[in-house]
């Protein structure tokens, strides 16, 4: 009987997939809270300047970006009873939860000390704890299964949890803040609840799966032990892999765009639409179709035989609906805005379910061509993209608001501030979507792996 190839085997039960995917619920309880509400908390509750906050976020990201490859490389060198990735995922969440809570506990005092406090906690959260946790969680999808189909399934399930959380958090947070007394006390209590829940869910996700023994390469090229690869060499391997750079670019566009949209969303609904409660409805219109798209992504990928086809043609179609959304927003046609947003989400949802599978394919490409295992380092692009992209997006949000003349303590905003808020919410996401479409057109790593396998299969037969 012919032995099944690794990609045809089943390594995971349904409950393993759900347990793994729930880790994104934990991640986005904190990340969603910070991405959507940290700016309005700092400007409207604490009274800080949005431009200064934006500059601090930007400075933090320059420090943050250098830690991703470091933690990925450290994970590659880790060998414990829990495996390579799980210890980092498990213990780093303690710091993530603590910093999430502390960010919404800015103490009273001079503005300078408040800015310093924010910068230290924000940088610790992103550069250290979120980096270690995020890289480990992403890399785990390549370490608990060798099946390409299961990796797509894991990616779809985790981002379904992510999207569900990103619907839930914007929908209930403002109400919870008011329910817990409003003001600074309300924000502290909500942050504490989210932080504790995230810690519990992350622990369940991490401890419910097991890592597979490390794969050994067969053939003429010897596997290079990870311990003998320096941090500089790891970086060189990454930078020489064009598919890694393309995926990093997609992550940066995705999270920079969403960072701006998340940050300005509550301002747009408050000052342009006149109803902050609409934030939950618009988030739902964006996320729910993406959940549906994610549920069918593994089926579509299997049918068309390529993640590239599903993603590229989906994004091309989404650009049409993106133009429709801009027109509807300028006319303030809420119904048409929601319809276009839903159609956009349905067309682009597949990318979130396949990004981890793309990284796994890219890591496999490095293993095939270079003989090196760099799973943790390779998955640093997900953490780097999420943190740096989201951080730059949040920073730009603050800078653009200030450039437009926004004043969080003013009773009425200027026309310039209102125009800037509108531009940020309806036009900037479309520009990032164009960039993502161009990048996806170059992401043909699946075909590159197949071509390599076919070439070496022919050599072996010869």
pLDDT bracket for residue 368 (50, 70, 90): confident
pLDDT above 70 for 231: no
> At a CB cut-off of 8 Å and minimum separation 6, what does 345 contact?
285, 286, 287, 288, 289, 290, 293
Give the other-Cβ count within 10 Å of 358's Cβ.
Answer: 27
pLDDT bracket for residue 221 (50, 70, 90): very low
- pLDDT for 453: 80
Angle subtended at Cα 138 by Cα 133 and Cα 142, rounded to the nearest 5 degrees = 135
Structure tokens at 400: 């653009």
For the segment 71-129, what is each residue's pLDDT rounded down to a tens digit?
A: 877 887 888 888 888 999 999 999 999 999 999 999 988 999 999 999 999 999 988 89
pLDDT above 60 for 130: yes
- pLDDT for 220: 42
pLDDT above 80 for 356: no
Q: Per DSSP, what are the bridge partners of residue 171?
A: none
User: What separation, in Å, do the N-terminal and C-terminal C-alpha atoms of the chain show?
Assistant: 24
- pLDDT for 216: 58
For the segment 373-393, what is each residue's pLDDT rounded down to a tens digit?
A: 676 677 766 666 776 787 788
Q: What is the mean pLDDT of the chain?
A: 85
Give the other-Cβ count within 10 Å of 208's Cβ.
Answer: 14
Q: What radius of gyration do the chain's Cα atoms show?
A: 22
Long-range residue pairs from 5-14, CB within 8 A, at least 24 positions apart, any chain = 6/146, 6/147, 6/215, 7/146, 7/147, 7/148, 7/149, 8/147, 9/146, 9/147, 10/147, 10/150, 11/144, 11/145, 11/146, 11/147, 11/150, 11/212, 12/144, 12/145, 12/150, 12/154, 12/209
Rounded mean pLDDT, 341-352: 90
- pLDDT for 319: 96
Length of the chain: 462
Cβ-based burial of 228 (10 A; exposed 0-12, middle 13-18, buried ≥19):
exposed
pLDDT bracket for residue 219 (50, 70, 90): very low
- Residue, of 48 and 453, whose pLDDT is higher: 48
- Residue, of 364 and 188, whose pLDDT is higher: 188
pLDDT above 80 for 241: yes
Long-range residue pairs from 325-334, CB within 8 A, at least 24 positions apart, any chain = 325/426, 325/430, 326/426, 326/427, 326/430, 329/422, 329/425, 329/426, 330/426, 332/273, 334/273, 334/278
- Residue, of 332 and 238, whose pLDDT is higher: 332
Rounded mean pLDDT, 362-377: 77
From 131, 370, 132, select the one nearest 229 (Cα to Cα).
Answer: 370
pLDDT above 90 for 313: yes
Helix, strand or coil, per DSSP, at residue 107: coil
- Residue, of 265 and 387, whose pLDDT is higher: 265
For the segment 159-185, what is each residue's pLDDT rounded down to a tens digit?
A: 788 878 887 888 889 899 999 998 999
- pLDDT for 111: 92
- pLDDT for 2: 42
pLDDT above 90 for 201: yes
Please give the C-alpha separations between residue 336 and each of 4, 201, 331, in angstroms, as whole numbers: 49, 37, 9
Rounded mean pLDDT, 46-56: 88
d(C-alpha 154, C-alpha 231), whole Å: 29
Cα–chain-centroid distance for residue 114? 28
For the segment 453-462, what is each residue's pLDDT rounded down to a tens digit?
A: 888 766 555 5
For the segment 288-312, what is each residue's pLDDT rounded down to a tens digit?
A: 888 888 888 888 888 888 899 999 9
Structure tokens at 288: 């729910």
For the segment 270-284, what is each residue's pLDDT rounded down to a tens digit?
A: 899 988 878 878 888
DSSP 8-state symbol, 274: S
For the segment 15-27, what is each residue's pLDDT rounded down to a tens digit?
A: 999 999 999 999 8
Please give the C-alpha separations between residue 346 and each of 147, 287, 317, 318, 406, in angstroms, as whole numbers: 26, 9, 10, 8, 33
21-211+231-451 topology per CATH = Growth Hormone; Chain: A; (1.20.1250)
DSSP 8-state symbol, 332: T
From 247, 35, 284, 64, select the one nearest 155 (Cα to Cα).
Answer: 247
| In the chain, % of residues over pLDDT 70 | 90
Please give the C-alpha separations between residue 148 and each of 9, 280, 301, in angstroms, as whole numbers: 9, 35, 10
d(C-alpha 292, C-alpha 394), whole Å: 28
Element (H, E) at 281: helix 278-304
- pLDDT for 104: 96
pLDDT above 50 for 1: no
Q: Where are the domains of the chain?
A: 21-211+231-451
């Amino acid at each position: 009987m012919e032995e099944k190839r690794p990609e045809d085997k089943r390594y995971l039960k349904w409950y393993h997939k759900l347990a793994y995917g729930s880790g994104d619920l934990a991640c986005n309880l904190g990340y969603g809270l910070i991405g959507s509400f940290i700016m309005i908390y700092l400007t409207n509750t604490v009274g800080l300047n949005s431009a200064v906050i934006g500059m601090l976020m930007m400075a933090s990201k320059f420090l943050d970006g250098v830690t991703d490859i470091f933690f990925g490389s450290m994970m590659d060198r880790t060998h414990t009873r829990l495996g390579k990735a799980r210890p980092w995922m498990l213990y780093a969440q303690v710091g993530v939860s603590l910093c999430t809570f502390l960010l919404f506990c800015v103490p009273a005092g001079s503005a300078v000390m408040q800015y310093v406090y924010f910068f230290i906690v924000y940088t610790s959260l992103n550069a250290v704890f979120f980096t270690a946790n995020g890289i480990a969680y992403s890399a785990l999808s390549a370490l608990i299964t060798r099946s390409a189909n299961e990796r797509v399934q894991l990616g779809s399930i985790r981002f379904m949890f992510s999207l569900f959380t990103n619907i839930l958090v914007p929908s209930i947070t403002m109400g919870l803040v008011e329910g817990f007394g409003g003001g600074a006390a309300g924000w502290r209590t909500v942050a504490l609840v989210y932080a504790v829940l995230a810690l519990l869910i992350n622990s369940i996700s991490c401890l419910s799966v097991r890592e597979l023994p490390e794969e050994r390469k067969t053939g003429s090229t010897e596997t290079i032990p990870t311990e003998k690869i320096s941090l500089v060499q790891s970086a060189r391997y990454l930078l020489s892999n064009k598919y890694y750079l393309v995926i990093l670019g997609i992550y940066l566009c995705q999270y920079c765009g969403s960072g701006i949209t998340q940050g300005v969303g509550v301002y747009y609904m408050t000052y342009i639409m006149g109803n902050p409660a609409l934030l939950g409805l618009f988030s739902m219109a964006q996320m729910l179709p993406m959940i549906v798209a994610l549920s069918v992504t593994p089926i579509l990928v299997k049918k068309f035989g390529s993640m590239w086809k599903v993603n590229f043609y989906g994004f091309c179609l989404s650009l049409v609906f993106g133009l429709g959304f801009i027109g509807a927003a300028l006319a303030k046609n809420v119904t048409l805005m929601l319809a276009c947003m839903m159609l956009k989400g349905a067309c682009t949802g597949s990318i979130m379910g396949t990004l981890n599978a793309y990284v796994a394919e890219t890591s496999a490409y490095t293993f095939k061509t270079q003989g090196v295992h760099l799973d943790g380092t390779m998955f640093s692009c997900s953490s780097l993209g999420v943190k740096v992209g989201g951080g730059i997006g949040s920073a730009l949000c603050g800078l653009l608001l200030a450039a437009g003349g926004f004043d969080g303590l003013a009773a009425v905003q200027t026309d310039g501030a209102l125009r800037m808020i509108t531009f940020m919410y309806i036009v900037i996401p479309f520009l990032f979507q164009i960039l993502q479409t161009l990048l996806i057109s170059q992401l043909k790593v699946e075909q590159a792996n197949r071509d390599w396998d076919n070439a070496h299969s022919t050599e072996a037969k010869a």
